[in-house]
Every structure is written in structure tokens, then in C-alpha cells.
Amino acid sequence: MRIGADIGGTFTDVVLVDDRTGNLKMGKVLTTPEQPDDAVIDGVGEVVAGAPAEIQHVVHGTTLFTNALIERKGALTALITTKGFRDAIEIGREHRYDMYDLRLRRPEPIAQRRHRYEIAERTLSDGSVRQAPDEAEVRALARALQGLGIEAVAVCLMNSYLNPVHERLVGQVLQDELPGLPVTLSSDIAPEIREFERTSTALCNVYVKTIAQHYLGRLEARTKDVLHEQARLFVMQSNGGLLTAEQAIEAPIRLVESGPAAGALAAAHYGQTLGFSDVLSFDMGGTTAKACLIVDGEPLLAPEFEVDRQYQFKKGSGLPVKVPVIEMIEIGTGGGSIAEIDALGRLKVGPKSAGSVPGPICYGKGGEQPTVTDADLMLGYLNPDFFLGGDMTLDLTTAHEVIVDQVGKPLGLDDLDAAFGIHQLANEAMASAARIHAIERGRDISEFPMFAFGGAGPVHAYGVARILKLPKIIYPFGAGVMSAIGFLTAPLAFDFVRSHPVRLKTADWPNVNDLIAEMENEGRARLAAAIGDAEITFRRTADMRYRKQGFDISVPIPEGKLGPERLPSIMAAFERVYARLYGHTIPDTPIDVMSWRLVASGPKPDFKLPEGGSGDRDAQKGRRLIHLPDEGLIDVPVYDRYRLGTGDQLDGPVIVEERESTVVINGSGRICVDDHRNLIVDLELPS
């Protein structure tokens, strides 16, 4: 038996699965922002039901570290770098992400200028040493840092990705002089080319290391108290693999997108099980909405990520982090997103959120501004007496009054038009983001079924899918806690990278094979402590580009020894990926490889989808008025999700309620319940 726990901006979701039977038990509690582990422990207590001894481990994901970076709530951090490169982290790539914005903003560097220090040393671009650091100079600097109250140190020296010996010397001196001080070496966290990104990654990692140590250490101890001493805590990485709590404390930057990654893994697992290799994952919670493409049964991966973006959709406006991450687009549109009239008199939804405190107005916890959830309640999509299965009663009257007062009257709209404007604006924003995400990756999603989940996802998925003209929607059983379920489908995994720039046709293949073997051996060593002799698999990729191009693309590399005889297949793979992204290739142009990557994975858990059963003749629990586009209020049937069985069929418009979420089909569509209790909706699209 295993537990998955996902902390969201509004709710914390906890799921218990029995791997022998596939049975699920789900819990949803309000997030506790001041001490997030309180909600996790409350949720675990809710689902354990007196059988803690049978639970083997807890898998967890959190946005705690991302929030700390955005809100600048980490440690007072110093940077030690090569003499002459103190300001490289601030200069960045000298790129204006918006050429015409005269007030262009960038995030402040993690280490302020007065806390950036230089030492005399130099490793050349081929890895050879020109000048070794003076150990006495480094020791004197370490003692000076102690006097300044520095709480964490990142070390990033020139070309250390090729030869890390100088960084390791500095790290050892810091450990000797300042025992217990968190230190991150760039050659450990991101051993690859590009100085700015490598420095930024090391700084971000060490900045939140103390937070990770306190939070994960406390959560693991509390988990053992609630369950038993042998229960283990695992943490989801941004790339969809798991780490032990101890490993996560050393590299918390790998967790920046852990929660959203789990949802994408769930979409991929369900898609493969149901026979859909290509799926659009759509996750809408209380604070944000995420869209992710699942292609050939796997989420797309990117080799880097940006945190603390000053502009949501503008690459280059955030802090670069060189860790693999499941590619998705995330926008500030969730159930708690606030609707307001802007300075130009236009309706605006998000990115500001009411969160869990005070939450939407209808929660009755002090919210004063209308949110998407308030609008959905007013439109009849939510049952005020069955929110969280009836554990929470929603205040329809106050939500109605505030929407009319703050949105309807200023825009000259009646109450339902004002509420539907909020609902539809949220749908349009999410559809636009998903469309942009697909286009940027060279994909046509017109044939992709949508996998809809999250607390608010099933309420809005139908409207978003119709805008995108998708053919089908899959609403999984337990959609409201699907990210927590996604944790339970993930294997333990580590990713490795070695920058070794070569021209493909003249590569030193013995050296390349040695690099790959080194990464494989490190992967085996790291996984062995957690999975013993279980089978380990490896997936290889390379960052490749045409000669003189500035950026790379990720290309799959074949297994086995590499050599000249593998060149045709590697070049063909590069051209396939390049043509898919850009629509053409460039004949007779040399190809370069910049970095070699490898993912080492343990076996995937045998996660079984819930089994269906026969339905109940009394599955319809009533009827209620809901708003339909262009039709107004229409009386539609409301069904109990738990009483629907395999083979049951419904026709839209219809409402299907379960404890953690509500499926809203506010238009035409044919709905079928499959063998795993999923609702499969075939859309009748407008011509």
C-alpha cells in the first residue's frame, strides 16, 4: 500500500492505493500555507483508516521551493567565481526578451553583488589548468564569509563542467572552515556548458537547500510518526522520476515542478492503458492551469526551466535552471483566480488568486473579490451542498451579490452573463495557452483527446475542448486528486549530463562511450540504495545542432557502443526531430553535439486503474438548472459518479458529481463509462 500527497495552492490531495487490488481511497483538505506539512499529515490521517503498518512509502510533491525563489524567502547566499566573472550572473546572455519594452524587468540575481566573490584560478576550455587556486586565499575568504553572516554558498568556476577539481578544492575548504554551511558546486548540480545558466542553477539550488532540509526532514519524521518507522518518503522530481528524501535535500532545485509533473505522468499512464498514445493533459486546480503534450506515451521533456518569470509567456524573463523538466505551459487561471475590471474597463481573470486563504467568496472565509469558482457556482455547475462531498457548504447568495456588484454592474451585464463571462474568459485563456504550447513544439493537437483532471479541470474541460475543436475528453475517476495519483505511477530515476562538444562525423567515440558508461555507473550506484537488484533501464539523448547555430535540440541516441557505424541512424534521428520542429532540414551542413544525456530509471510501479462494475438504476441523483451558452438556464440531469457502471451511457448536457470534482457537460456530447470508471466523452463539434 502506498500514499501519494500533492500540495496545491488551495487544496492538498492525498491518495492511498492498494497495489494488490487497485483500490483507491482519496482525501482532500485545505492547504496550510504557513506550514504545508500540516495539511499532508492531516490528509494522510484521513485516508489511512487504521492500517498504517501496511503502507510502504509516501510519495510527495510540492511547489514550496518554487515559491521560495519567487518570494525570495531563501538563505542569504554568496557566490564564489573565477576572477573577472563576478558580474556574469547579472549580465546574463545580454538578451532583451522584449525589444520594445522600455521598462523591461529582470529578476534580481540570487546573490547580490556585494556577496559575489572572485578567486584567482583558471581552467581552460579544453579542461587543462592554467592557474590553480591558492588554498590560503580560499580559506581567508571562507572566514570572511562567516563574519558576514552568509547562510549558503554557490561555487561556479570557469569551465568546471570539463574539470571540476578546482570547485572541489573550494568546496572542501568551505566544509573545513564552515562545517554545516550549505554549499552547491555547479559541477555537481549542472555539469554542462553555458556559464550563466550553470551559475544560476547552482545559486537557486543552494538558496533553498536549508528550506528543503527543514521541510523534508520534518515531513519524513512526521510521516514515520503517523505510519511506522520503516515507511519511506520519496519526492517527485520535475522530470517525472522519484528521489529519496535524502537525495532531494541535496538537490531541491530538481523539485521546482514536481506537482505538475505528476499530473502529466498520470495522463501518460492512463493514456497508454486506454490505448491513446497521444494525449493533451489538462490540469486545472485552485490557483493555476497546466497543459502538457503526451506524445508516443511519454510527456515531452525540456533540458531547462525558468523560475520567477517577470512576464508569464516571455522566455528570458526568469532565472534559468538547468534541470530536466516535463514540458508544459502553466497560466494563472484556476478556481481561485480573481475576476476584476482593469483600468481600461475590461474584464480580467487571474493571475491573482484568492488561494486557500481567504479563498473564493463562496468558501465563507473572508474572500471579498469574485473568483472563477464563484462564477461556476452561480452558473449552476457546482452544487453548494455537495462541495467536497458535502463536507463544505458554499455560499451562493454572497457570491451572486459580489459578482453582480463588481462585474455585472460596471459592465452593464445581467448576473448570469457576468458569471458566464468570467467562466468563458478562463476557458479562452487556457485554450490559447494550450494552442501556443502545441504550435511551439511543432504539434497539431486537433486529433489529441484531452485528459481532464484537477479540482476545477472537469468543470472547464468541455468548454476548453470545444474551443480547441478536440474530438474526445477523458475524465478519470478521482480526477480531483489525479496529481496525487500520478505520484504513484512514477519510478525512481536520475538524470545525468556531460558536456563534450564534438563534430558528429569526427567524434572521439571511445571518449564518448566512456562518458556514457560513467553516467550509467553513477546511475546504478544511486539507484541501488533504493531498489537493490531491481532492473535498471537507461535512456540516452544528445543536445545537437547544425554548425554555427546558437541553440540545441534533444535527439534520442541508440543503445550499445557508439561508433562511426552508428552515424547514419544518429543523423537520421537528428533530421527527423529538426524537420518536425522547423519543417525542413539544412543539407550538407555539419552537425555538432554539445552534451550527452542519460536517464537511469528503476522499474515502474504496477499501478492498476480502478476496475468498473455494474451501474445503479438510481445513478441519477436529481436535476438542476445550469447555464448553457446561447440558451440560458436549462434543467439538466445530475448523476452520482459512484453509481455509474461500466457501459452506462449519457447524453449531454449533463452534470456528473463526485466528491473531489464535478464533470460539467454544458452542451451536446455522447458520454460512455469504460471498464475503469472513466467517463469518455465524444464531442459533437460545430462545423
Task: Please name which of 302, 330, 315 lies closest in space to residue 238, comparing C-alpha atoms.
Answer: 302
Q: How confident is the model at residue 469 (pLDDT cuts 50, 70, 90)?
A: very high
DSSP state of 126: T
Angstrom distance (rounded) from CA 355 to CA 360: 8
Give the pLDDT confidence score for residue 686 in this predicted structure.
52
Angstrom distance (rounded) from CA 567 to CA 557: 10
Q: How confident is the model at residue 313 (pLDDT cuts 50, 70, 90)?
A: low
Task: Please name which of 354, 373, 351 lies closest in space to residue 362, comparing C-alpha atoms.
Answer: 373
Give the pLDDT confidence score for residue 114 in this predicted structure.
94
Asked whether the bond before 107 is cis by omega within 30 degrees of 0, the reply is no
pLDDT tens, 105-136?
Answer: 888 899 999 999 999 999 999 899 999 999 99
Which residues face 538 on adjacent strands?
A: 600
The region of weakest confidence among 129-133, 394-398, 472-476, 526-530 is: 526-530
Rounded to the nearest 5 degrees, what angle is found at the Cα of 367, between the Cα atoms of 361 and 372? 45
> 424 near 463, Cβ under 8 Å?
yes
626 burial level (CB within 10 Å; 0-12, 13-18, 19+): buried
List alpha helices for 153-238, DSSP H: 165-177, 186-189, 195-207, 209-226
Neighbours of 19 (CB within 10 A): 14
Which pTM was predicted?
A: 0.86
The region of weakest confidence among 7-16, 196-205, 274-283 is: 7-16
Task: Please name which of 161, 173, 5 lies closest in space to residue 80, comparing C-alpha atoms.
Answer: 173
Q: How confident is the model at residue 359 (pLDDT cuts 50, 70, 90)?
A: confident
Q: Which three cell numbers stand for residue 31?
A: 492547504
Rg of the chain on CA atoms, in Å: 26
* For residues 201-222, average pLDDT: 94
pLDDT tens, 554-598?
Answer: 999 999 999 999 999 999 999 999 998 888 999 999 999 999 999
Q: In one letter, which amino acid is 644?
A: L
Angstrom distance (rounded) from CA 278 to CA 539: 20
Give the pLDDT confidence score for residue 154 in this predicted structure.
97
User: Could you tell me how far CA 2 lies from the centroid of its own chain?
Assistant: 21
Residue 564, classed as helix, strand or coil, is helix
Angstrom distance (rounded) from CA 268 to CA 169: 44
Q: What is the DSSP string of 228-286?
A: -TT-EEEEE-TTS-EEEHHHHHH-GGGGTTHHHHHHHHHHHHHHHHHT-SSEEEEEE-S
Q: How confident is the model at residue 52 (pLDDT cuts 50, 70, 90)?
A: low
Angstrom distance (rounded) from CA 642 to CA 612: 10
Structural domains in the chain?
Answer: 2-69+215-249 (3.30.420.40), 75-207 (3.40.50), 258-333+427-487 (3.30.420.40), 337-424 (no CATH), 493-601 (3.30.1490)
DSSP state of 67: H
Angstrom distance (rounded) from CA 195 to CA 216: 30
DSSP state of 405: I
Distances (CA, A) of 583 to 442, 576, 607: 8, 10, 38
Give the pLDDT confidence score for residue 685 in this predicted structure.
55
Q: Which three cell numbers stand for residue 575?
A: 533530421
Distances (CA, A) of 169 to 172, 176, 360: 5, 11, 53
Neighbours of 558 (CB within 10 A): 11
pLDDT tens, 70-115?
Answer: 888 899 999 999 999 999 999 888 778 888 888 888 888 999 999 9
Give the pLDDT confidence score for residue 591 in this predicted structure.
96
Please list, in sequence order, all residues whose beta carbon lies within 8 angstroms of the beta carbon of residue 660, skipping any fewer than 6 positions away: 13, 26, 28, 388, 389, 455, 478, 479, 480, 481
